Amino acid sequence: MKKILITGALGQIGSELMTHLRSIYGTDNVIGTDIRKGEQDGPFEIVDVTDAKRLHEVAKAYNVDTIMHLAALLSAKAEEMPQKAWDINMGGLMNALEVARELELQFFTPSSIGAFGPSTPKNNTPQDTLQRPTTMYGVNKVAGELLCDYYYDRFGVDTRGVRFPGLISYVAPPGGGTTDYAVEIYYEAIKNKAYTSFIGEGTYMDMMYMPDALHSIVQLMEADASKLQHRNAFNIAAISAAPEDFAAAIKTYIPEFQMDYQVDPVRQKIAESWPNSIDASAAQKEWGFKAEYNLDAMTKDMLDKLAVKLG
């Protein structure tokens, strides 16, 4: 990678990935795009990923060699607007892949644990397994994995991707995902020393701290292509936890913290269709993936950073 275009650059992942990549490859070599203009220092363009012509024009104008396609509607929002989710998540992906094919670019897009479904093995979910998701977001992700495989097999596009677990960050606010309780809980712990979880007690899901997620993207994109067998849907994981585990970790640093529950049936149903824990051995073997943050290390860093951010 030498010159990179990011779609959805103002989203939860994109906003931090753009900064991270600019620190590695140089500010002028990372072009952010989104449907609105944000406050940032480097090159940035307004691009709606459903506008194929505009996306192609910007990629060509900046002479990029890599697209990181992050623009998407997340799980809970996608259930509210399934048609719009299909148009953005699948139409946008197809447009971005076509640009990569036409301009011979390297390509990254993330999949998700949302690509799994109720019939998927819940514990230590294998790399290759039955998926059958029951959400529009999940259907989009499975289709996206297959589409990226197709563009590699059919056209030779260097497509790569990971299945992200829930991502936790102190930088970007929650963005409509089912795992967002694990971000909100830290904000509320600092502000109010209390939190009402919309996910029920005992509901385990895989999570990851954003620094590990950013590192994994760069590590995969810089990996030797000849060693990649799975390419577009690597399981990666760091933390398997339920809401009460986050509460217990926070109480280590804020003893007076309290949590209760007011379960959101829509997001709870989504959460219960996802794995409890993930087998990431393929990513470890093929490109050396390893997470650095466990629940306690992440909790300490989140609380320290949010205390500064929130004053």
Q: 95-131: string of b/e by CB count within 10 Å (b at 16+)?
A: bbbbbbbeeebbbbbbbbbbbbbeebeeeebebeeeb
- Choosing from 137, 186, 204, 293, the catalytic residue is 137
Is position 181 annotated as part of the catalytic site? no
Q: CA-CA distances (angstroms) from residue 131 to 89, 119, 206, 273? A: 18, 7, 16, 10
Nearest to 55 by CA among 112, 105, 2, 111: 105
Contact 44, 32 (CB under 8 A): yes
Contact 172, 15 (CB under 8 A): yes
The bridge status of strand 205-209 relative to strand 166-168 is parallel
Spell out the residues 6+ positions from residue 115 whose beta carbon is closer than 8 angstroms to its own: 131, 133, 138, 141, 142, 145, 163, 233
Token digits of residue 182 = 């694990």
What is the C-alpha to C-alpha distance for residues 176 and 36, in angstroms, rounded to an integer?
A: 18
What pairs with residue 33 in β-bridges?
A: 45
Phi, psi of 206 (to 5 degrees): -80, 140
What sign does the dihedral 149-152-155-157 (CA atoms) show?
A: positive
- List, by residue number, the catalytic residues: 137
